[in-house]
Structure 1
């Protein structure tokens, strides 16, 4: 019998989905919400559903596929270039969003992709994506409570 590893499959699929969003955002210099809006719910559901397949491919080619398919244009947002400190990887940021989205989905009893859209559209997304702040490496419960209260605590 093959085990699932340390996390269940759907958690890993959400982690990949969030990491891909961050990768596309960095590559196109867009905010994460702009990428989420450009991808739309159907593509987000597709990425989440087939994340294990996409994960086997090069993330650069997967991102190119969705950038082209969704006509994501070059933006002006460059949080990587503006970062004065160590830059977190897109995998690091994917993990932050995964934890928050999972918690929102469970606590609000909504589907994962609905929670994903809700989180990326909230104020907390701009806070997480400011790599000159400390929000992205804060305790997950602190990030969740700040999200819930709609302000940094």
Structure 2
């Protein structure tokens, strides 16, 4: 029996490793410039450099926390497993393929739902609307 898997990932321009390399270069250049101004007698520039680097550091931490976010739909026999990895927290949902239903996204909605009785999970936040429709069609072909 084959396992079917669909994975949806956030579209990130930089991996966390690339972002770290960029951050190190940015910090070094900023500190070199701030040190030059400080040695020239302009003591205000290092203060603003510290504020700037603090703000950039916070932004980079937020970016890195969500750079690896993903959603996975996996069908293994009668089991439909949904894994959501958001902000380093993984949540697992399990449905029966005979009873699970996929609801079409409403017009303008950014997500769609997979439901079974009172359990429901929103998916598709990393996909465009037309990609969601194609994914729903593919997954429905494997549901009872």
Do they superpose with TM above 0.5? no
Higher relative contact order (CA 8 A, sep 6+): 1
Instruction: Work out which of the two has the higher radius of gyration on C-alpha atoms and give 1 or 2.
Output: 2
Relative to its length, the structure with more strand (as a share) is 2
Relative to its length, the structure with more helix (as a share) is 1
Output the TM-score relative to the length of structure 1: 0.23
